[in-house]
């Protein structure tokens, strides 16, 4: 174990110990490059226990997610880990989409961690009933709780994503388009469904309630929803599925019924998966950078931990993009579209 102290680093650079300490804590200081070089040359290792005792911090951040088996949330966690660096460790809590477990987790973490990154299952969740706005640094990621709008958030551009997905199917000539949505009590479920509705309205296509199935973001939910659509007297010819897990379930239903994609049913999902380009045909999706979303959430939380309430709440949206593969057919005139150039696909009148 290294016997080098913070005093040794300060002496080598010719600065005060407090300057080195502030540099280690992530603050901008003069001679920062020289300090980092001296730390490396001397082999200095910060005593995190002593530093946390002195600062009153724990060195822990809680990350509460609804379903760690979903590759999207695993990517969120990985992005947050990378952004946390060496100063913070993550306490991961999987709630299984259970609001009561979320409430338990929030209560248990208060006073035990320096901040929380939180993916609530529902917008009307009561998990934070006993939490005063900003009583602990907290960042919502992917979803919100509607009564806590004064808290930092990092979301995907769900509305535009839902609209882009539906627009893509419309461009293939489909008019009987169904939507398997997530829970409408959740931020992504509600916003992606709103994007679906807006695209249909822009094309003067009346929504058919038979072609809208609210589900639960699970594989089983997607399977059951697709089965119900296939049982209709006049099934849809295309389906937009609101997340990756439900898309897997929907594809299982199509395979079971021997319905070929895209010949008999075009399908587009929300959120990419490492296996989607290996499916036959490869799956067209609305994608967003989950690693980036997790990293931004962690960076925002660390800023809040260090800076308190010195800046207003951040509401950050991560871009989405359309990745065209084969599950909707190959007649579309474009191959990839992102939020930044979405108006090539969406008319200005349809955007918020």
What pLDDT score was predicted for residue 330? Answer: 61
What pLDDT score was predicted for residue 136? Answer: 82
* Cβ-based neighbour number of residue 276 at 10 Å: 21
Which segment of 103-117, 218-232, 288-302, 336-350 scores lowest on mean pLDDT? 336-350
38-65 b/e with 16+ CB inside 10 Å = b?
bbeeeebebeeeebeeeeebbbebbbbb
The reported pTM is: 0.76
β-pairing, 315-318 vs 284-288, is unpaired
For 178-244, the DSSP string reads EEEE--TTSHHHHHHHHHHHHHHHHTT----GGGEEE--SSHHHHHHHHHHHHTSSS--SEEEESSH
Phi, psi of 171 (to 5 degrees): -65, -20
- pLDDT of 299 > 70? The answer is yes
What pLDDT score was predicted for residue 346? Answer: 34
- pLDDT of 3 > 70? The answer is yes
What pLDDT score was predicted for residue 332? Answer: 44
Delimit the domains of the chain by residue range. Answer: 6-46, 60-157+290-318, 158-287+321-350
* Cα separation of the two ends of the chain: 57
Q: Please, are residues 221 and 157 in contact by the beta-carbon 8 Å criterion?
A: no
pLDDT in tens, 157-194: 999 999 999 999 999 999 999 999 999 999 999 999 99
CATH assignment of 158-287+321-350? 3.40.50.2300
Phi, psi of 89 (to 5 degrees): -105, 150
Distance CA 230, CA 225 (A): 9
Q: What is the mean pLDDT of residues 320-329?
A: 91
Q: pLDDT band at 311, cuts 50/70/90?
A: confident
What pLDDT score was predicted for residue 51? Answer: 53
Distance CA 101, CA 98 (A): 5
Q: Which of 112-126, 185-199, 261-275, 316-330 has the highest mean pLDDT?
A: 185-199
pLDDT in tens, 207-234: 999 999 999 999 999 999 999 999 999 9
Distance CA 139, CA 25 (A): 20
What pLDDT score was predicted for residue 130? Answer: 66
Judge whether 60-157+290-318 and 158-287+321-350 match in fold: yes
**What stretches of the chain adopt beta strand conformation (E)?**
60-65, 89-94, 115-118, 138-141, 152-156, 177-181, 212-214, 238-241, 266-270, 284-288, 315-318, 320-323, 336-338
Instruction: Output the average pLDDT for the chain.
Output: 85
pLDDT in tens, 26-68: 667 888 889 989 988 888 876 654 555 455 567 889 999 998 8
- CATH of the domain spanning 60-157+290-318, picked from 3.30.70.100, 3.40.50.2300, 3.30.70.3280, 3.20.20.70: 3.40.50.2300
What pLDDT score was predicted for residue 18? Answer: 80
């Amino acid at each position: 174990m290294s016997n080098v102290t913070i005093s040794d680093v300060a002496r080598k650079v010719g600065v005060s110990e407090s300057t080195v300490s502030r540099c280690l804590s992530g603050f901008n200081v003069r001679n920062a490059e020289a300090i980092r070089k001296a730390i490396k040359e001397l082999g200095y290792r910060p005593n995190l226990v002593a530093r946390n005792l002195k600062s009153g911090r724990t060195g822990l951040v809680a990350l509460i997610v609804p379903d760690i088996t979903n590759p999207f949330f695993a990517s969120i966690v990985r992005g947050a880990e990378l952004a946390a660096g060496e100063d913070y460790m993550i306490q991961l809590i999987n709630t299984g989409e259970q609001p009561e477990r979320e409430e338990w987790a929030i209560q248990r973490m208060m006073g035990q961690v320096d901040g929380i990154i939180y993916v609530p299952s529902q917008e009307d969740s009561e998990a934070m009933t006993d939490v005063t706005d900003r009583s602990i640094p907290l960042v919502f990621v992917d979803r919100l709780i509607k009564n806590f709008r004064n808290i930092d958030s990092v979301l995907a551009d769900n509305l535009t994503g839902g609209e882009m997905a539906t627009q893509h199917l419309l461009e293939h000539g489909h008019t009987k388009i169904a939507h398997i949505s997530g829970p409408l009590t959740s931020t992504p479920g509600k916003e992606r469904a709103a994007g679906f509705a807006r695209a249909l309205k822009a094309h003067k296509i009346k929504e058919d309630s038979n072609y809208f199935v609210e589900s639960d973001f699970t594989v089983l939910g997607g399977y059951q929803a697709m089965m119900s659509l296939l049982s209709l007297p006049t099934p849809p010819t295309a389906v937009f599925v609101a997340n990756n897990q439900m898309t897997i379930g929907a594809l299982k239903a199509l395979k079971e019924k021997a319905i070929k994609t895209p010949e008999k049913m075009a399908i587009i999902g929300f959120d990419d998966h490492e296996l989607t380009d290996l499916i036959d045909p490869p799956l067209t999706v609305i994608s967003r950078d989950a690693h980036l979303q997790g990293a931004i959430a962690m960076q925002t939380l660390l800023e809040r931990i260090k800076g308190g309430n010195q800046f207003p709440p951040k509401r950050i949206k991560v871009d989405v993009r359309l990745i065209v593969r084969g599950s909707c057919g190959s007649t579309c005139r474009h191959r990839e579209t992102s939020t930044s150039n979405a108006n090539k696909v969406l008319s200005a009148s349809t955007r918020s």
